[in-house]
Amino acid sequence: MKVRHTGIHKLSDNLVSLIAAGEVIERPVSVVKELMENSLDAGARHIEIKLENGGLTTIVVRDDGHGIPSAEVPLLLERHTTSKIDSEDDLDEIVTLGFRGEALYSIGAVSDVILSTKFADEPGGTRLTLRDGEKSVETIPWPGGTQVESIRLFHSTPARRKFLRSGSAEYGRVGSLVSSYALAYPHVAWRLMHDGRETLRTPGSGSREDALIAVYGADVARKMLEVDFRSGAVNIEGAISSIELTRARRTDQIIFLNGRLIKDPGISAALERPYMQFLAPGRHPIAILLISCDPREVDVNVHPHKKEVRLSEPRAVTGSVYRAVENTLRKNHPLEIQKVLESEPSAGKVEIDEITGEVKPLEPSRKDERDWAIREPKHHHTPDWPPQPDERQQRSVDSDQLQHQYPAFDDLNIPHDLPPAGHTIQFANTYLIYNQGRAIYIIDQHNLHERILYEEFISREENADASSQALLFPVQVILPPALAALVDENMDILRSMGFEIEEFSEGSGKRAYALRAVPQALKDSDPSSALTDILEKASQDEKLDEPGGFRRAFTINLSCKSAIKAGQSLTEEEIAFLIGHIMDGTYVTCPHGRPTMIKLDEDWFRRSFKRSK
Ligand code: ADP
Ligand code: MG
């Protein structure tokens, strides 16, 4: 990025009125974002971020950028002072991440600030301190670069503070933000510390792969495909996951446009479209896409956090994203793509909406629409599909891969109305069987219930409204160190799922916890052993150390533990409850990847009885 420092000055009233101003600082992560963007704007190659208590106590961001001239330091912390834009024309062509001159002012309004800096060629450094609204400036020895400390965030606005979740939840947001930037700016060496522990460090080598390894680990990095695409003025770089690496949520899709982290549903849709034929329902690719286009095509000045942007040519960008992803998949998965194209001549052809830039399948007739709905290729059972797993994978079958071996929901053609009440039979206290239309459907009661619970827990975490069951007496749970560490680290996740748990010291060095409530679904189990079991299983999960890994692993095992078991006799109501859920396309497999339902159609009966027609 071009570094430009034209001297910090106050913007004219006219220019101020053109800026989409807003409350910038909502939570610790907003402080971190503004400060590290300033560091990037200053051309830093090393950025270190330290948080105490999720940033609620202190946030420190230190860089080795060009620093701030001592004469300009007193101007900082005033509203609308910036060195980055000067005139209205500059607004059309913003090349820096900041431009409103509001961040330091806003941070100063909600916390104490200590800023230490030294401008490139000046002999000494300067420190600006803002404490309880009192500002002071002094000369200090300082090696170079800038450090900003934000202390006691929101101490004067307790109402704001109440909205925040615990320190570790706030830290979680910061962790994923810094990871995204570390992937987008691999030539910067990033270091993130939380409560004295280093949680992320990238080498700053400029290699995206090194950054991917630092953020996701070597296993994931190995399965990422490099994207490098140019079309007209649009350039796209980055990495996307190969079709065997998927996630249950879209949180690992990171999109930068001209160096700015954005959310844009049109771009996300264009990114996922080429995967659709390959991914099971509810699965999403991982992606880091760095899109650059002419800054004049992008209006960054529409959202107070600059998270949303307006494109003057959305079509050019979404179309390029679609093609970049498609080309990359085609290059890396030639066999699978070829097969889909052969069986489905219209597959892969898309049309890009002139106005919205939305990528859509070509001429979506009703039939096409169904074909383009999430669906898997028809070749699953030929010997080369799924691609032969290597030895390592064979030993531990990955649930993502398992999902590929079963037909997708659409292939089952499940009628959208329920079978008549009382027509379902339970067989072997494990399977539910019913006839509807011209097929027999067989459900595995445990697999299906496990999936229903899994979806419920996931959506509850998102809405943070766990329904839990208070225990009559708190139950003591003693955990081995490894499981205790998991609990400490993920206390918030556990609480969001309905576990009310806190540590109580026994004094003997053992880690004891008091469990006061459990999720509703676990109310009939022995709470202490259920929790220990689930933690134990989750701790074995291969992907535990990936971002979001614990949440996923814990939720899967919690669902498994709480679900109706095989061999359990069910009431009419329980059967109706289960059947009522299969209409949703996400329930084709349990979270481990085993099928929830199979369908026997007339053809199957004909073949089984060796009838000719
Ligand atoms: P903006 O980034 O929108 O200009 P800020 O309030 O974030 O506004 O920063 C105000 C000014 O302070 C910037 O324009 C820049 O000149 C200077 N500045 C802030 N942080 C740094 C930093 N880490 N290194 C160098 N200059 C900085
Ligand atoms: Mg800024």
Nearest in space to 523 (alpha carbons), one of 604, 568, 467 = 467
- Phi/psi-derived region of residue 545, left when phi > 0, alpha when psi is between -120 and 50, beta in every other case: alpha
For ligand 1, pick from 31, 41, 147 the residue to mutate: most ligand atoms within 8 Å of CB: 41
Q: In 185-313, which residue ranges form alpha helices assigned H by DSSP?
A: 208-216, 218-222, 265-272
Question: Which protein residue's CA is at the shortest distance from atom 23 of ligand 1?
Answer: 39
Q: Pocket residues for ligand 1 (CB within 6 Å)?
A: 8, 34, 38-39, 42, 63, 65-68, 76, 81-84, 98-105, 146
Question: Which protein residue's CA is at the shortest distance from atom 8 of ligand 1?
Answer: 101
pLDDT tens profile 534-548 = 988 888 887 887 788
Q: Measured from the CA of 99, which atom of ligand 1 is nearest?
A: 3
Whether the bond into 386 is cis, omega within 30 of 0: yes
Q: Measured from the CA of 100, which atom of ligand 1 is nearest?
A: 3
Question: Which protein residue's CA is at the shortest distance from atom 14 of ligand 1?
Answer: 82
Q: Which residue spans of the chain are classified as CATH 3.30.565.10? A: 13-201
Q: Measured from the CA of 106, which atom of ligand 1 is nearest?
A: 6
Q: What's residue 383's pLDDT?
A: 28
pLDDT tens profile 370-384 = 333 223 333 333 222
For 200-221, what is the mean pLDDT?
90
pLDDT tens profile 471-483 = 888 888 877 767 7
Q: How far is CA 50 from CA 178, 288, 539, in A?
A: 11, 24, 28
| Between 474 and 63, the higher pLDDT residue | 63
Widest pairwise Cα distance in the chain:
95
Q: What's residue 420's pLDDT?
A: 66
pLDDT tens profile 310-368 = 776 677 788 899 999 999 998 887 766 666 655 554 444 556 565 555 666 554 333 33
Helix H or strand E segment including 162: helix 158-162
Q: Which residue spans of the chain are classified as CATH 3.30.230.10? A: 223-368
Question: Which protein residue's CA is at the shortest distance from atom 9 of ligand 1?
Answer: 101
pLDDT tens profile 19-46 = 544 455 778 999 999 999 999 999 999 9
Q: Is the pLDDT of residue 553 over 80?
A: yes
Question: Which protein residue's CA is at the shortest distance from atom 19 of ligand 1?
Answer: 38
Q: Which residue spans of the chain are classified as CATH 3.30.1370.100? A: 372-613
The ligand whose atoms approach the alpha carbon of 102 most closely is 1
What separation in Å is there between the alpha carbon of 161 and the centre of ligand 1? Answer: 25
Strand 287-292 relative to strand 310-311, pairing? unpaired
What separation in Å is there between the alpha carbon of 11 and the centre of ligand 1? Answer: 13
What separation in Å is there between the alpha carbon of 164 and the centre of ligand 2? Answer: 23
Domain topology for 13-201 = Heat Shock Protein 90 (3.30.565)
What separation in Å is there between the alpha carbon of 4 and the centre of ligand 1? Answer: 11
For 597-613, what is the mean pLDDT?
85
Question: Which protein residue's CA is at the shortest distance from atom 13 of ligand 1?
Answer: 82
The ligand whose atoms approach the alpha carbon of 33 most closely is 2
Architecture of the domain made up of 372-613: 2-Layer Sandwich (3.30)
Extract the tokens encoding 389. 């797993």
Q: What's residue 391's pLDDT?
A: 30
Q: Measured from the CA of 97, which atom of ligand 1 is nearest?
A: 2
Extract the tokens encoding 226. 């490099």
For ligand 1, pick from 38, 66, 128, 147 the residue to mutate: most ligand atoms within 8 Å of CB: 38
Q: What's residue 349's pLDDT?
A: 54
Helices 334-343 and 314-332 sit at what angle, rounded to 10 degrees?
Answer: 110
| Between 292 and 471, the higher pLDDT residue | 292
Q: How far is CA 170 from CA 33, 190, 377, in A?
A: 13, 19, 41
What separation in Å is there between the alpha carbon of 176 and the centre of ligand 1? Answer: 23
The yes or no reply on domain 223-368 and CATH 3.30.230.10 is: yes
Q: What's residue 341's pLDDT?
A: 54
